[in-house]
Amino acid sequence: MSNETKRDVFERLVGCYAEVYDAYIDETGSPYYCDDEPNYMEDYDAALPDDLPVIPKEVGEYIQWGKSYDIQLYMMYVSQLIHRPGFKKLTDDAKSWIVSSSNTFARAWLLGVWRVEETGEIVRL
């Protein structure tokens, strides 16, 4: 394993692509393949991570609710202490999942995006 990040590898690839792309122009200076050179760096920055957290639907709804009331992450682990309007008690299964998958729960909370376990749908805050 190297100390190179995926971003470093991608930037090298984009650099190589640019060199090859520049080599494929016709006599008028126009590229053969497309009118505009795509900006892969912007697309990469806007893309979602490959390894999105996968969480149950009920847990995702709980995260959405907590974010809407600006509740601190550590408080989300102790749902029985939360007394806010609209708070829906979690099922025992959801509580167990949050406790046993606390790293995944925290990643979903911090990223603000996850994949719903039951449907595969991607949810963004």
Is residue 110 scored above 60 in pLDDT? Answer: yes
Residues 25 and 59 in one domain: no
pLDDT at residue 105, as a whole number: 96
112 part of a folded domain: yes
The C-alpha atoms of residue 54 and residue 104 are separated, in whole angstroms, by: 8
Residues 63 and 92 in one domain: yes
How many domains is the chain partitioned into structurally? 2
Residues 13 and 71 in one domain: no
Instruction: Place 38 in a pLDDT band, splitting at 50, 70 and 90.
Output: low
pLDDT, tens only, 59-85 = 999 999 999 989 899 888 876 666 666
Kindly tell me the burial class for residue 87, based on how many C-beta atoms sit within 10 Å of its own C-beta (0-12, 13-18, 19 or more).
Answer: middle
Q: Could you list the residue range(s) of the whole structural domain that residue 20 is in? A: 6-46
β-bridge mates for residue 14, sequence order = none
Mean pLDDT of the residues in the chain: 83
pLDDT at residue 60, as a whole number: 96
Residues 13 and 39 in one domain: yes
pLDDT at residue 41, as a whole number: 81
Q: What is the mean pLDDT of residues 32-51?
A: 74
CB atoms within 10 A of CB 71: 16
Residues 86 and 62 in one domain: yes
Nearest in space to 105 (alpha carbons), one of 35, 53, 58, 67: 53
% residues pLDDT > 90 (the chain): 36
Q: What is the mean pLDDT of residues 18-36?
A: 64
Rounded alpha-carbon distances, angstroms, from residue 28 to 21, 35, 36, 37, 108: 15, 13, 15, 16, 50
Q: What is the DSSP letter of 42?
A: H
Q: What is the helix (H) or strand (E) element at residue 123, kind and residue range?
A: strand 122-124
Residues 27 and 84 in one domain: no
Residues 72 and 107 in one domain: yes
1 part of a folded domain: no
3-state secondary structure of 7: helix
Q: What is the mean pLDDT of residues 90-110?
A: 93
